[in-house]
Amino acid sequence: MVGPRRPLFVLFGSSIVEYSFSDQGWGAILAHIYSRKADIFLRGYSGWNSRQAVEVLDQVFPKDDAVQPSLVIVYFGGNDSVSPHPRGLSSHVPLSEYVENMRKIAIHLKSLSEKTRIIFLTTPPVNEAQMLEILGVEDRTNERCQTYADALVRMCQEMGIKAINLCDAFKQRHDWSSTCFTDGIHLSAVGSKIMAREILKVLKEAEWKPSLHWESLPIEFA
């Protein structure tokens, strides 16, 4: 660690997190906005689902660390919601297990510190045609993405956790399917801007003390 010590934000998830600092990604947007105010740590693992995430919680977020995150932004669901493979060779996780895995993640994060705040991101929609054309796969559908997204939001409401339904947020743009993705799944600069905007909106409206919105945090060595 280098000082002075700033609030620590952790981005935890699959490829949409891992790639969030590339191509005008949403992680890079947040890092720029919070420069001199907070340190943003990337813990993204391409191809992972919620089942794998649960297995490493204690390693990624040790409960006995002296310094705990001020904010954890969690994204899993895109890989969980792929179509099941007849021989179990996909990353598919059944909906009920996905929700319980996300609940386990939430419980663990809540136990880190009474000041650790959490935002869960749902899976965004997909451009099924673009996904097939570029990646040659057709294992994801918008219908299933929406189902997993809505289920996660309901769980977060039950647990009092902030959630962003990216299916709903993206579909507010009439041209979302042609502008928000690079390959039908991963985010373009436009998709990342939507993601960052929704996160900043939650941070501004949350009644957290202290506030973690960038306008409320002090500038280091101002």
Active-site residue numbers? 14, 183, 186
State the sign of the Cα–Cα–Cα–Cα dihedral 23, 29, 35, 38: negative
Q: What's the CA dihedral at 170, 173, 177, 179 to 10 degrees?
A: -100
Q: What does the DSSP assignment read for 78-138?
A: TTTTSPPPTTS-S----HHHHHHHHHHHHHHHHTT-TT-EEEEEPPP---HHHHHHHH---
Residue 124, preceding bond cis, omega within 30 degrees?
A: no
Token pair for 213: 């919105």
CA distances 101 to 18, 72, 77, 98, 151, Å, are: 20, 16, 10, 5, 12
